[in-house]
Structure 1
């Protein structure tokens, strides 16, 4: 059996608690404008939040995040600068050839970190990585997956 295949089978046979991976496709320009489109919008002036519902799609550069509902929190309660986004329901994060799905996600716009939680599935080509939680640094394109981590790697793919 080729050595790489033995290593891959060994990794698949035992559960990993955490795995750090390169995520070049999910690298994004965190200084680019954030665009939000949705079926409806509810603004809460006092709390400095906006709630987008129905077919929500958020774009920042090449990155796209979609969900059923996204709550936008503005810095200092105003609406001039987005502090964070919290997405719920069929969350999908796509950039380049990388895609990730989860039950929910939080995007800290100021730091450029996205945390996906709940049945996370990341794909790149035919390769698949699953876990309970994934933290992505969009500035560097690196990610850390925690929980019951499982990987499937296709021979001949990076």
Structure 2
């Protein structure tokens, strides 16, 4: 009887792991809907402003906060909307690089780079992505987080490490 349970547990684990290693895995991220219209606070060691493009580059221990969400990186370029109907000061997107860490609620993710599209309320993390959720960890090449729904999509050789409960 114990032997049969062990075999059943192995088959269930293999079945679950097989689906986890699929090219696209959807997971919850942050546990709640994020309000992308909240003010964005940026703290850094230095700021450079490009007068031609209007872009602002924050360098050194950059911390970005919006509501409960926090993003840390070595460098963040803030790109502003341009065009005939655009007024100054509207952020289009933020591009973070260098040891990017994103914390939203109880989850945390690390990557080489992240792009936060303000209008879409979407963050695309790429390069050595690692997501931790409690004692479990997932890794992939890319993760796209939809802040409107609190869901993330991981693609590119997704690997999961599940910790059994004691």
Does the alignment reach a TM-score above 0.5?
yes
Q: CA deviation digits over 1:70-94, x for unaligned, max 9?
A: 0000111764111100000000000
- Aligned residue runs from structure 1 range 43-122, under 5 A: 43-76=49-82, 79-122=88-131
Q: Please report the TM-score for the alignment, with normalisation by the length of structure 1.
A: 0.90
Q: Which of the pair is proportionally richer in strand?
A: 1
Shift of 1:28: 1.9
Larger radius of gyration: 2
Q: Which runs of 5+ in 2 are unaligned?
A: 1-5
Q: Summarize the alignment of residues 13-52 of structure 1 with structure 2, pairs less than 5 Å apart.
A: 15-25=21-31, 27-52=33-58
Q: CA RMSD in A?
A: 2.1
The structural deviation recorded for 1:30 is 0.9
**1:34 Cα shift?**
0.6
Distance change in 2, residues 1:44/1:121 (3 Å): same
CA drift of 1:17 comes to 1.2
**Residue number in structure 1 paired with 2:13:** 8
Pairwise CA distance, 1:48: 1.8
Q: More displaced, 74-83 or 114-123?
A: 74-83
Q: Secondary structure at the match of 2:82?
A: helix
Q: Which runs of no fewer than 5 residues in structure 1 stay unpaired? A: none
Cα deviation 1:47-84 (Å, max 9, x = unaligned): 12010000000000000000000000011176411110
Number of residues of Structure 1 aligned to a counterpart in Structure 2? 157
Give the corresponding residue for 2:145.
136
The farther-off stretch of 25-34 and 131-140 is 25-34
SS at match of 1:76: coil
